[in-house]
Structure 1
Amino acid sequence: MAAKPGRYYSGQYSALVGNSAAFYSNNELDQYDDHARKAYGVPTPPVDDHPLNQYGSQDHQPLTYDNLTSLKGPLPQRPRKAGWSRRRKCVVFGGAALLLVIVIAVVVGVVVAVTHKSAPFNLTLSNAQVTNDTAFTLGGATHSSPNNTADGIGAGADAYTYYQGVASKFPQPSAWVSFENMWNNNLQIFQTSCKTNKHGPNNSNQMIQEIYDAIQNRSTVSLVDHRFILAIILQESQGCPRASATTSASGVTNPGLMQSHNGTSYSPAHSADSILAMVQDGTQGTSAGDGLVQNLDMYGSPYSAARGYNSGYLPKSGDLSEAAGATACYVSDVANRLTGWVYAASKCPGAT
């Protein structure tokens, strides 16, 4: 607010009386007058040429006694302008901008996730079945319902026997454990294998159930014994759908649960469908390569079929443990899984 006219200039210096005025010379009063005027925002009076007065003529209006004594104590501060400080603006507007970015990111993430989950999973179910009668005789295929999970000799023994040579030197199907026992004995492997083998998070209980359901589903359609499917899953990935894909020198990619021939990889957004697709690829084959059905039809024996699944062919010698183009312990491992092996040390030469 501007100062009222005459508030500071209401009399001559000669009119000053009292002890307070006695301590000020004209020059000091003028300086004090100037200081007070600046502090209160009072404009400087016009200057004239009077030699006795630095401010101008004798008409200059000095401070009165009352106004002079009123200046004792701290001078009033210049009032702040209304509004926010620069720092407050930065904090408020910066915080608002950050919050807006976070909200946009969350919304975009939700939209992408919903869109991804809503996209259909391309799964065409296969009707491929085993047709070779020998495969039913030797045990790789069965007409029994997969709902019969108590098939087999029970739990078997957690021990490893090294098998080699032709298929007839491997254990007969009458020595295989039941599906129920085989599943329960390996359940902990399903629960821990992903992290153990550095394939990411371990299977959830839901994923494990989805693997179980997929085995039973594809066994029903393909007529491949569910124990044989389970043994190959354990051999290929230890039951981890996230198992890394391998790529052959010819460019064949082998992903997931059964490391199938250019097959399906695991999709977290379509867990059940992708797991079913992986089991189908390994059991019934893909458009690019054979599964267990095709190998059982070709060779009859489940052990020969396992070797064919692993390497794509049987060695001329007929020795299923021959290393040429294959994992030497592969068929021996599968045979031991079918008879109860879980944690016992392998006795296969060269096993890691």
Structure 2
Amino acid sequence: MHTFDFTDLFLFLGISQGIFLAITIHVVQNKNKIANRVLSLLLILSSILLTGKFMYSFDAKNEWFFRIAVFMDAMIFILGPFLYMYCRRLIFNETPAFKIHYLYFVPFLGMCLYYIWTLTYTHQELIAMGRAGKLLVPFFTIETCGLAFNYYFCYRSYILIKTYERQEKKNLSYSQHVIAFLKVVLVVITVFFTMWLISYVSAYFLRAYLPYINYNTTWIAFPIFIYVIGFFSLKQPSIFRVPIAKKDRQKNKERVDGPELERLKNDLQKLMVEEKIYLNHKLTLIDMAQQLNTSSNNVSWLLNNIHESSFYDFINHYRVQEFINKVERGEHQNHTLLALSLDSGFNSKSTFNKAFKIVMNETPSNYIKKMRVI
């Protein structure tokens, strides 16, 4: 009988932590609920996966533990799609909310069929078949599909983030830190799958078993990392979800001209110069459209075609100019540059520095030094 060791303790704590987080997210976190429902399910699935590893690690000779562990491996075909759905629900506004297509469950069902097939043999027969190499083809097929399936959803998630970055500039006047976080998540998960790929190539083609980089370590590390996402979500601010990208043929659908175009141009000038709506650091395209009494598509068309600018760049150009005006009045002598940037409508130092460099082609501090020389 296997004694309870550090690995078992680690897995047991991981299982209990996943269940705790899945419940806590609903109780404590009232923001981003649509995405957090999927995250709770991901945490539960991760706990189930770790449960299988825990039971097999605790007593590999136990028939029921062995069979449960085999079934738990089917979860690898669900985690990838659900992680993609979490990312999509977190950053995009879709009605109805995005759901996983039933075709995404085909590999999972295939794994379930394989599991049912193993039930036709006794535990001893399966072990004998494994030693004789008769299970090599099923294992190879399942692992190959698992790798390809999860790499596919990593790629889909990467495209999702790129799409969001384009849409963010069209709809928001500020940057959200969630994208930086999701990029880190994607990189780490890709590293996990690459570790799995290395062990896969080593086992099937080089006939060598790596002690630390292998299938089991990958699928212990992956759920633990899902818990990190869970902890992050407890402190996560409310995310402004942008509309999903529309097809190109819809771009000119709400084009304006004539008197309506002149009205929008004049009203926009009034909003920016007289009312200074850009001082609202949470300003969105929808906010501007409401104040102009028109649709967000019309405002987007106006900015793209008349001002030749995205919403993000248009608003931040005015914010940079507001900051420059404050510096020219000498306000930087009594206030920090960060304070002045926040008073100018920026929501963070990083967004301010990036926008200033784009508009003025130099950093704020260098700009002020040149002013002193003049």
Q: 1 or 2, which has the higher helix percentage?
A: 2
TM interval, shorter chain, is: under 0.3
- In the superposition, the TM-score normalised over structure 2's length comes to 0.20
- Kindly name which structure, 1 or 2, has the bigger radius of gyration based on alpha carbons: 1
- In the superposition, the TM-score normalised over structure 1's length comes to 0.21
